[in-house]
Amino acid sequence: MRTMKKEDKMNIKRIISVMMTAVMAAGLFAGDFSVQTGDGVKKITVQNESIRQITCEGEDFSTNIVGTKNKTVELYFTNKPFTEEQLKSAELKNDETSKTDAQLTIDKKELKIDLVKKHKDGKYITIFTPKDISIIVTLANGDLNVKNIKGELLFDGKNMDTEISNVSGVINYRNKSGDLKVEDFEGVLDIKTFSGDLRLKKVSGSLKVENKTGNFDLSEFTGKLKSTFQVGDIKISSSNVTEAEIDNKSGDVLIIGIKGEKLNVISSLGGIEISDSKLDIIKVELTAGDLEVRGSESDLNLSLNMGEAEITDHKLTGKIDSDVKVSFGDVTIGLRDPASYDYFRSVGDEKTEYKPGMEIDDDLRICEKNKKCLRIDNNMGSITVK
């Protein structure tokens, strides 16, 4: 009988060691992911509870991300849209032989999802995840829906329609084309898009928006706003602002029911209408278009190069002196309780008795009893006092 040499024993130990390492690695993967199928649904459960970030990248997918109280991540793939209730109620069976086109890897505490374009699993993916998590999504084309998440989120798309609801934390949103809808968000929201309509409701915190082409609708906002637009109409309503800055090159601006400290609107071309608002100061710079301030309360700093300016049913706060400057166009001014003010023609500072509907062919100064004044400077046009 042949005696085993020492070097042969060492080789066998090496082979066994390699085999055990491979088995352990396979067991780790199997333990991290389990697959179930049935009713047109493929479900992948990520057993690893240490996941703190999800990175998802794909092209031409409809992606739905939902925060839950669960500690694990669940992925559902379908060929047609399913509701969350339909996914949860689907009759599924373990399927160890099923393979998925999506490439799933775990790197420390990060789950990476690479959605390839084959779509054999289906072009609709729903991800149920613990709500306290960071998320990065990059979609070349497709729809994105995110809700019930608390964390840091980065969304980057080329042609992506997006809905975000009941989310808090920090969102950086970048998209070349597509509409964005946000409702019930608290935190820091930074939006930069090239084309698409933006509709935001019940947002609080810090909001920064840059949009080249598209309409902007913001309602029930609380916080600080800084926004820049190239082409599109803007509407802001029922909001409370510490400071709101709006820079719009072309399009109408409609402000309704705003309260707070400062509103600053800069526009090159388009009408501006501000109504039923109460602020410390309203500042407007308009190159061409009509300007209307109605039923509001604030001090004013208004500058209009070409167009009509109409201020009606307005109350001055009286904290600082106010100014209205119009280069080419008529001015209509109507203050609440107009008889309580003193009226002075600017040339010679001549006091003028108030009469409803009186026209002034000169600059005008309207002063309150506390000596704070509204100065109206009109280079070419008339001034009518209601």
Report pLDDT digits (tens) over 320-368.
999 999 999 999 999 999 999 999 987 667 888 899 999 988 899 999 8
Least confident of 102-106, 175-179, 275-279: 102-106
Matching residue, tokens 């100014």: 323
pLDDT band for position 248 (50/70/90)?
very high
What 3 state SS string does 161-195 have? EEEEEEEEEEEEEEEEECCEEEEEEEEEEEEEEEE
18 has pLDDT over 70: no
Is residue 122 one of the residues assigned to a domain?
yes
More confident residue, 239 or 2: 239
What pLDDT, on the 0 to 100 scale, is given for residue 117? 65
C-alpha pair distances (Å), 64 with each of 9, 74, 148, 165: 55, 12, 11, 12
Return the closest-CA partner of residue 105 out of 143, 142, 51.
51
Q: What is the mean pLDDT of the chain?
A: 90
pLDDT of 372-385, one tens digit each? 999 999 999 999 99
CA dihedral 212, 216, 221, 225 (to 10 degrees): 30
Taking the CA atoms of the chain, what radius of gyration do you get in angstroms? 31
Residue 134, pLDDT above cutoff 80: yes
Q: Is residue 43 part of a domain?
A: yes
Number of domains in the chain: 1
Q: What is the DSSP string of 30-49?
A: HHHEEEEEETTEEEEEE--T
Percent of the chain with pLDDT over 90: 78
What was the pLDDT predicted at 11?
52
- Residue 117 belongs to domain spanning: 34-157
Looking at the domain assignment, is residue 384 inside a domain?
A: no
Q: What is the 3-state secondary structure (H, E, C) of 77-111?
A: EECCCCCHHHHHHCCCEECCCCCCCCEEEEECCEE
In a domain, 62, yes or no: yes
The per-residue pLDDT for range 308-324, each reduced to its tens digit, is: 999 999 999 999 999 99
Amino acid of residue 45: T
252 falls within a domain: no
Share of the chain above pLDDT 70, in %: 90
Q: What is the mean pLDDT of residues 265-277?
A: 98
pLDDT band at 101 (very low <50, low <70, confident <90, very high): confident
Task: Please check whether residue 75 lies inside any domain of the structure.
Answer: yes
Task: Give the distance from CA 204 to its chain's centroid.
Answer: 10
Instruction: Give the C-alpha separation, 200 to 189, whole Å.
Output: 11
What is the average per-residue pLDDT within 240-265?
98
**Average pLDDT of the segment spanning 21-41:** 63
The tens digit of pLDDT for each residue in 278-301 reads 999 999 999 999 999 999 999 999
21's tokens: 């390492």
Whether residue 358 is contained in a domain is answered as: no
Q: Indicate whether this model's pTM tops 0.85.
A: yes
203, pLDDT greater than 80: yes
Is 55 a member of any domain? yes
Of 286, 292, 282, 276, nearest in space to 244 by CA: 282
16: exposed, middle or buried (Cβ count in 10 Å: 0-12, 13-18, 19+): exposed
**pLDDT confidence bin for 119, thresholds 50/70/90:** low
